[in-house]
């Protein structure tokens, strides 16, 4: 998959804690080497992922300490990062519209 918007992740981990700096690069590597053709492919690797309308996916990172909201274009093999943050901050956004 081509990951677009990775700057959001880099900005978050730069200002985040040491745990975030370890976890997010692993997620990026996993996404970049994946070939997700359907939501089932994502669910196989990320069992706790939640699916929203508009092909949006909420990835739970680090035992649900952090979240990534991404739009996935399965046909073009593109993941567009829409939002990155802590679980607490996630509760303050509308992931379906961000």
How large is the average pLDDT for residues 29-38?
97
Residues whose CB falls within 8 Å of the CB of residue 38, separated by 6 or more in sequence, listed in order: 74
Record the pTM. 0.93
DSSP secondary structure letter of residue 31: H
pLDDT of residue 64: 87
Neighbours of 58 (CB within 10 A): 19
pLDDT tens, 36-95? 999 999 999 999 999 999 999 999 999 889 999 999 999 999 999 999 999 999 999 999
d(CA 90, CA 68): 9
* 74: DSSP letter: T
CATH number listed for the domain at residues 2-90: 3.30.2310.20
């Amino acid at each position: 998959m081509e990951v677009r918007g990775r700057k959001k992740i880099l900005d978050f981990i730069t200002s985040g804690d040491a745990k975030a700096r370890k976890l997010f690069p692993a997620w990026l590597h996993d996404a970049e080497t994946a070939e997700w053709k359907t939501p089932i492919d994502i669910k196989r690797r990320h069992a706790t992922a939640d699916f929203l309308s508009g092909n949006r996916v909420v990835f739970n990172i680090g035992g649900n300490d952090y979240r990534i909201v991404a739009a996935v274009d399965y046909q073009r093999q593109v993941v567009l990062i829409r939002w990155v943050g802590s679980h607490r901050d996630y509760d303050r956004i509308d992931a379906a519209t961000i």
